Amino acid sequence: MKSDNPFESLSLELKEGFSLLLDEIKKSNHSASEKTKSEEILTVKEAAEFLNLSIYSIYAKTSRKEIPYHKSGRKLHFFKVDLINWIRKAKIKTNAEIEEEAQDYLQNQKNRSSRKSRI
């Protein structure tokens, strides 16, 4: 049943608008908090917990420059995003990926030698 009172329909529209606005604010806050989590700075202990390594292993990796870190005085700091990227770079290739790279390499070598013979 439609109301004849224009204020009731206006009130309903305002409620819907506020609801949509609140949803958008919640979404933007969630994405902002995700970004700050990835840019989070970790201590040695926190980095060890995050990577599931011992503190000794973290110090060993930093002394061998195997892991990305920042040093301020005597303190070590780690950006969580740097550690995530470091893990991604250490990916072990599958046999299919290795085979594909080998085929590409052989094809490139074949193309090079055919170009050299034409010169």
pTM: 0.53
Residues of the domain holding 81: 41-90
Of 28, 89, 83, 92, the C-alpha closest to 51 is: 83
For residue 81, being part of any structural domain is answered with: yes
| The pLDDT value given to residue 21 | 75
The torsion angles phi and psi of 7, rounded to 5 degrees, stand at: -70, -30
- Which tens digit of pLDDT belongs to each residue from 38-77? 579 999 999 999 999 999 999 999 999 999 999 999 999 9
Burial class, 69, CB count within 10 angstroms (exposed 0-12 / middle 13-18 / buried 19+): buried
For residue 58, being part of any structural domain is answered with: yes
For residue 18, being part of any structural domain is answered with: no
- Which tens digit of pLDDT belongs to each residue from 16-43? 777 777 778 877 776 655 556 657 999 9
Tell me the C-alpha distance between 19 and 42, whole Å.
Answer: 37
61 in Cβ contact with 71 (< 8 Å): no
For residue 82, being part of any structural domain is answered with: yes
Type of residue at 110: K
For residue 56, being part of any structural domain is answered with: yes
For residue 64, being part of any structural domain is answered with: yes
How many structural domains does the chain have? 1
pLDDT at residue 112 greater than cutoff 80? no
